[in-house]
Amino acid sequence: MSAAPALLRVTDLSKAFGGVQAVAGVSFDLAAGELLALIGPNGAGKSTCFNMINGQLRPDAGRLTLDGRDIGGLQPREIWRRGVGRTFQVAATYGSMTVAENVQVALLSHERQLWRLWPRAAALHRGRALELLEQVGLAERADDPCSTLAYGDIKTVELAVALANRPRLLLMDEPTAGMAPRERHALMSLTQRLVKELGIAVLFTEHSMDVVFAHADRILVLARGELIAAGSPDQIRADARVAEVYFGSGRLTGRPGGAGGAPA
């Protein structure tokens, strides 16, 4: 039984800032239809990994391929054009716009050319925006101002905006920051469903181990820039090195009675 071919392949990726080796020879694969969590203590190198994959940072060494084509060191715009999306915070200034309009703005900025040549595209964008809102379960709120949404719903609009470009790979760096545990689970179970329905690949970071263990297909553990473990939630839970890294931080709980103390 062969595994699905990798959509994203990361090989020996490295990045230093001055004397700090933020990412040190990280390698992993990510397939379409897979929800992969990247976890590790603060400063482990998670965001640096994300920013090399999305083109914000140029790797010092290593290789990044999407569908076998090199993307390492390309401009963010080019990497985005090839199908690598990421979640952006819905701008606070858009609060007076409706939920649908926020998604339409995202669609417009992604298709500026088309918009200029064909003003009627606005009507199509409304349709596509509603389709996206349907996918994330917010169609009923389409015509409400964003400012009236609960925080968890705003994060869900951000997800719809990220999907506007039909990414094949979606990068979500701390998508549930500031959310209550229940909302975190709701957002990640929605993400989990979209990964399967749309066949996209998602790489995400998340502080709540409960959320990671409940929703990720597979987990990568970074510590001081190095990948110290990779595997299924059960494998990671049973991994002695992982427990050691988290020991004392009290964050690797996963389930009641697991190693560590209260969740962060």
Cα separation, 244 vs 252, in Å, equals 10
Q: Which is nearer to ligand ADP, 48 or 253 (CB)?
A: 48
Shortest Cβ 259–ligand ADP spacing (Å): 21
The yes or no reply on residue 165 touching Mg ion (CB under 5 A) is no
Q: Please, what's the b/e burial string for 118-141 (b: 16 or more CB within 10 A of its CB; e: otherwise)?
A: eeebeeebbebbbebbebbebeeb
Backbone angles phi, psi at 83, to 5 degrees: 110, 20
H or E, element range at 61: strand 61-66
Alpha carbons within 13 angstroms on the beta-carbon side of residue 115 total 12
Residues 22-81 that bind ligand ADP (CB under 6 A): 22, 40, 42-48
Shortest Cβ 50–ligand ADP spacing (Å): 8
What residue 233 binds from Mg ion, ligand ADP, none (CB within 5 to 8 A, per partner kind)? none
Contact present, 99 and 149 (Cβ < 8 Å): yes
Shortest Cβ 20–ligand ADP spacing (Å): 5
Stretch of 17-25, 29-37, 116-124, 185-193 lying at the interface with ligand ADP (CB under 6 A): 17-25
Angle at 142 between CA 137 and CA 143, to 5 degrees: 155
What residue 45 binds from ligand ADP, Mg ion, none (CB within 5 to 8 A, per partner kind)? ligand ADP
- Residue type present at position 123: A
Shortest Cβ 64–ligand ADP spacing (Å): 16
- Residue type present at position 37: A
Residues 20-59 that bind Mg ion (CB under 5 A): 46-47
Shortest Cβ 11–ligand ADP spacing (Å): 19
Interface with Mg ion (CB under 5 A), residue total: 2
- The footprint of ligand ADP (CB under 6 A) covers 17, 20, 22, 40, 42-48
